[in-house]
Amino acid sequence: MKLVFLQILLMIFSPLLIAEEVELWHDGKISPEQPFKALVIGVIPGWGSDTIILQEIGEQERYCFAIFHRGLSTYEVQSKEEYAKKKLVGATVISPGVEVERFSWTMGVHKIGKIFGEDDLVSKWYTESKSKSKQPAPNSKSEKKEKP
C-alpha cells in the first residue's frame, strides 16, 4: 500500500522536479544565460578560467565571449566592429564555426562540452552555483547570533 502511495506521489511531483532541471549545451546556447544562439568559433584557455568565443546565428553578426571561471560565468557581447579590433591572444580559432551542441574541447584536466557529461566544466559550474545559492547567506536574519 505504501509503495503504491509513493508511486502516485512520484507521478504527481516528477514533472515539477524535471522542470527545475536546466538544459545545458542545447538549442545553440551553452547555458540559458547566453544572450543569443551562436556557433563556437574559438577557445581561449587561461589559468583558472576558459573562454569560449561565440558568433551569433543570424543577421546581427554579434560576438560573445563566454568566460567560465571557478564556479562563475560571464557573457560579454561585442559588435562585429568591436570584435574585429580585439586581439585574441592565445586563442584557438575554429573555422567554420561548430554548433554548440557538437562542440568539445579538452586541455589537461579541463573538459568543455556536452559529451563530457558531469565532467564538463559548465556542468560543474552549474552544480556548484546552484549549491551555493541554496545555502543561507552569512549574517542573514534567519541565523541567530550566539552571545559570548
Note whether 112 and 58 are within 8 A (CB): no
Eight-class DSSP state of 26: B
pLDDT of residue 107: 81
pLDDT at 109: 72
Cα 143 from Cα 138, distance rounded (Å): 8
Three cell numbers at 4?
A: 503504491
pTM of the prediction? 0.74
What's the grid cell of residue 46?
A: 587561461
Q: With contact defined as beta carbons under 8 Å apart, do 109 and 117 qualify?
A: no
The pLDDT assigned to 133 comes to: 66
Specify the pLDDT at position 11: 55
What is the rounded CA–CA span in Å between residue 69 and residue 71? 6
pLDDT of residue 14: 46
Measured CA to CA, the distance from residue 100 to residue 31 in angstroms comes to 10
Instruction: Give the pLDDT confidence score for residue 18 in this predicted structure.
Output: 38
Residue-by-residue pLDDT tens, the chain, 148 positions: 655 554 554 555 544 443 356 789 999 999 999 999 999 999 998 887 889 999 999 888 999 999 988 767 899 999 999 999 999 999 999 999 999 999 999 887 778 999 999 899 888 888 777 666 666 655 645 445 555 4
